Amino acid sequence: MVKNLASIKPGLLAGLARVCEAIVKEEYARAKELFALTVRDKSYPPDISLLAEAFGMMLVKVEAGEFSLEKISSELETARAEMTRLQAVLPTSGKQPNRHALAGDPSSMVVGESPAMQDIMRHTARIAQVKATVLITGETGTGKGLVARALHFNGSRAKGPFVSVNCAAIPETLLESELFGIEKGVASGVTSRMGRFEQADGGTLFLDEIGDMSLDSQAKILHVIESSMVERVGGRQSIPVDVRIIAATHRDLPAMCDAKLFRPDLYYRLNVLRLHIPALRERREDIPLLARHFLDKNSLRNPGAVRGITPDALRLLAAHNWPGNIREMDNEIERAALLARGSAITPQDLSPILMGGETPCPSLTGDSPILPHPAEKPLKRGRILLRDPGHDAQRVRSLSEVELDAVRAALSAAGGNKAQAARILGITREGFRKMLKRLALS
């Protein structure tokens, strides 16, 4: 505010400090006196007079009941947290990411200082400028969606729409109309509606969990990628679309291609440019930075939550394997910040699993959450005993064989209840239904 500190009259800053102190102590009379003196004395620099005038206006509003000191303090703290967040998001120069973060949009960003994440940020900044299809791989919860948003919002299509579709969450019977749209009159009461491809025209379409898509839907996606044309359900004309495709999956697509569960031609079309996001346990040096980032983000949503963390708690966070990766850590920090008993998160505020007092949830890594389990122990959620007495231990079993045994074991453990079997396997009811259909099981 003041360009030349030397021009300030000696003692003025001390006087202004007394004004602030008087306001905090609710000694309004003394504060008014200092304010009036500053305004009357024309020897002060114009910037200082404006500051003094601002103090006076604040006093008037406080006395009138328009503002409370608690509200002013809260608003200033919120503004400070937002400025800190934006400072981390902004690149240091041009389109290049800074050392810690790569911006997506105001709601998300990629954070990391490990060599692996710095490499991803550099590749993302470069890939963002081209239209080629991108395949993002990595375990569940590693932040594939955040990278997809960063690719869009840091690229030449940032002004266009970003449309996201979770292929695993939409029933197979509705996926085609959801992606390609539907014409009026296809069925009773159906109105004309554009699909996600048309909505993303001029921008980016993010196909999340594309490994859960059926072979029929895969063929239609391949046609759109090759022709840049879509045809609505019940439609008779092709509609041109200009869409960049970004796909993501936690599955091993080459293995699925070998098992005839994924189309090789679609895999090659998607795998033009590839980004693999490492699991959080593979980049533990990012955990302190992420903890700070999640605390700042949480403070914007919950102003009353704590904003500090003790070194002991941070050591426990760094030692945890985080099977749920970034998503799990975000939830853990938010929960601990809201329930912390003191001014900072301590080990006692963390979940029992981080303290070693609780069995961890099944890993979300790989194509399936199936883990071996000793026969003498009871069957637990997410842990399936796969038995094959005639199986040769030296032969590597196919993915379909493993899935088939897992589904049968889960159904047996659940007494035939499909919803319970899905919970045992750690997948959604819809995902289990798709698995039954793919394996030709009734």
Q: How confident is the model at residue 97 (pLDDT cuts 50, 70, 90)?
A: very low
Long-range contacts of 8-17 (CB under 8 A, 24+ apart): 8/44, 8/45, 8/48, 9/43, 9/44, 12/38, 12/44, 12/48, 16/48, 16/51, 16/52, 16/55
The pLDDT assigned to 363 comes to: 42
pLDDT at 407: 81
DSSP annotation string for 147-196: HHHHHHHTSTTTTS-EEEEETTTS-HHHHHHHHHEE-TTSSTT---EE-H
Confidence at 390, pLDDT banded by 50, 70, 90: very low
> What percent of the chain shows pLDDT beyond 70?
64
Residue pLDDT, tens place only, 171-191: 888 888 899 988 887 777 678
Cα–Cα distance between 183 and 171 in angstroms, integer? 19
End-to-end CA distance of the chain: 74
Q: Which element (helix H / strand E) includes 62?
A: helix 46-63
pLDDT confidence of residue 287: 92
Which of the two residues, 432 and 160, has the higher pLDDT score? 160
By the 8 A CB rule, do 110 and 143 touch?
Answer: yes
pLDDT at 359: 44
Average of per-residue pLDDT values in the chain = 76
Q: Degrees (nearest 5) of the Cα angle 248, 253, 257?
A: 145
For residue 90, pLDDT over 60 is answered with: no
Which comes out higher in pLDDT, residue 424 or 34?
A: 424
Q: Is the pLDDT of residue 361 over 50?
A: no
Q: What is the pTM of this model?
A: 0.59
pLDDT for 3-54, tens place per residue? 444 444 555 556 666 666 666 666 666 666 666 665 566 666 665 666 666 6
**Is residue 355 over pLDDT 50?**
yes
Nearest one of 172, 180, 244 to 206, comparing CA atoms? 244
Pick the closest to residue 410 from 441, 379, 372 (CA basis): 379
Query: Is 310:344 a contact under the CB 8 Å cutoff?
Result: yes
Which of 51-55, 67-71, 241-245, 288-292 bottoms out in mean pLDDT, i.e. has the lowest?
A: 67-71
The reported pLDDT for the residue numbered 306 is 82
pLDDT of residue 322: 93
What is the predicted pLDDT for the residue at 342? 84
For residue 100, pLDDT over 70 is answered with no
pLDDT the model gives residue 249: 96
pLDDT in tens, 321-346: 999 999 999 999 988 988 888 888 99
Please give the pLDDT value at position 425: 75
